[in-house]
A and B are shown apart, each in its own frame.
Chain A
């Protein structure tokens, strides 16, 4: 009798887990504020989440890439430089499975910003991409004015700062997951292969969210 009770308890626990996982959605990170609007004479309060602001950089092909080029794309952003001997090789070694998993997904991008534009010119970035066997337009290596890169990094790393209020985030190897509405949906330690594996799973969850499927 007692065994039967245990078995039932275990089965119900397992089904509870299953039930939860089917409704999974990623959190929305970053700052938020409430906006009250009047719709049809009634006050409606809405939460507005912080989004990635406008930007303009150049990719490894010499093409100008702005925020508009990432409209309705799910993308991952990181910061690196080609001569970095420490964490960057690990980050981009770990990024290769992400690239291979999604390189045929039309609405997915990876953007890697160089923080050393003086050295990392367009040809240097192209060579770097070639050596990583990265082709096509799934993974862009972006360069621009140093100030612009540092400025945009603050928008991406705002949620990293919330979780870890110390240190040099740009150089901590974070990968930031952005949705089609340019909201921050996840941050991952790019030097940790397990976290990157989790990011791949999270991207698939994000792709299936109604907000992303219906984005136009």
Chain B
């Protein structure tokens, strides 16, 4: 009898945890899918279909180390543009990236897309995280 109760409780817990995870991965998928559309209309011309960039003119988005170490700066970089020299994939880039006028939700979506495409596996960037990081823009 006891064993049955334990099994029942465990299975209920199991279902709860599984549905929780599903909820999370569903949200990730929603961000990722919407992010891919934002990417196509605002980023792809310059950074390319595979995030490959363009030779020495436009940096690629395939450098996971750069992405990870600049994670909190990414919303500001996209929203305010970028000027000056940066080093990506052992190549240095200068020139200027234009401001991209996206709202915080679009920023969260596109960052989630980029950080989980082109060989990057950096997980989801949430809406609240973007809001907090935007407040720290210089």
* A87 sits at the interface (CB 8 A): yes
Pick the contact of B57 from A86, A87, A90, A131 — CB < 8 Å? A131
The residues of A that contact B97 with a CB separation of less than 8 Å are 85
* B10 sits at the interface (CB 8 A): no
* B55 sits at the interface (CB 8 A): yes
Looking at chain B's contact residues, the main secondary structure is: mixed
> Nearest chain-B residue to A132 (Cβ)?
B55
Pick the contact of A93 from B48, B56, B96, B98 — CB < 8 Å? B48
Total A-B pairs, Cβ < 8 A: 28
Pick the contact of A130 from B48, B54, B56, B98 — CB < 8 Å? B56
* A135 sits at the interface (CB 8 A): no
CA distance A86 to B97 in the complex (A): 11
Q: A87, B54: Cβ atoms under 8 Å?
A: no
Count of chain B residues near A, Cβ 8 A: 11
CA distance A131 to B92 in the complex (A): 10
Knowing A89-B46, A90-B45, A93-B48 touch, does A83 contact B96 (C-beta < 8 A)?
yes
Looking at chain A's contact residues, the main secondary structure is: helix
Knowing A83-B96, A85-B98 touch, does A128 contact B45 (C-beta < 8 A)?
no
* A46 sits at the interface (CB 8 A): no
CA distance A86 to B56 in the complex (A): 17
The residues of B that contact A85 with a CB separation of less than 8 Å are 45-46, 97-98
The residues of B that contact A92 with a CB separation of less than 8 Å are 54
B35-70: CB near A (< 8 Å → 1, else 0) gives 000000000011010000011111000000000000
CA distance A73 to B48 in the complex (A): 32
Pick the contact of B45 from A83, A87, A130, A132 — CB < 8 Å? A87
CA distance A86 to B42 in the complex (A): 9
The residues of B that contact A101 with a CB separation of less than 8 Å are none
> Nearest chain-A residue to B100 (Cβ)?
A85
The residues of A that contact B56 with a CB separation of less than 8 Å are 130-133
The residues of B that contact A128 with a CB separation of less than 8 Å are 57
The residues of A that contact B96 with a CB separation of less than 8 Å are 83
A113-147: CB near B (< 8 Å → 1, else 0) gives 00000000000000010111100000000000000
Knowing A89-B45, A89-B46, A93-B48 touch, does A131 contact B98 (C-beta < 8 A)?
no
Known: A89-B54, A132-B54, A133-B55. 11 other contacts (CB 8 A): A85-B46, A89-B45, A92-B54, A96-B55, A128-B57, A130-B56, A131-B55, A131-B56, A131-B57, A132-B55, A132-B57
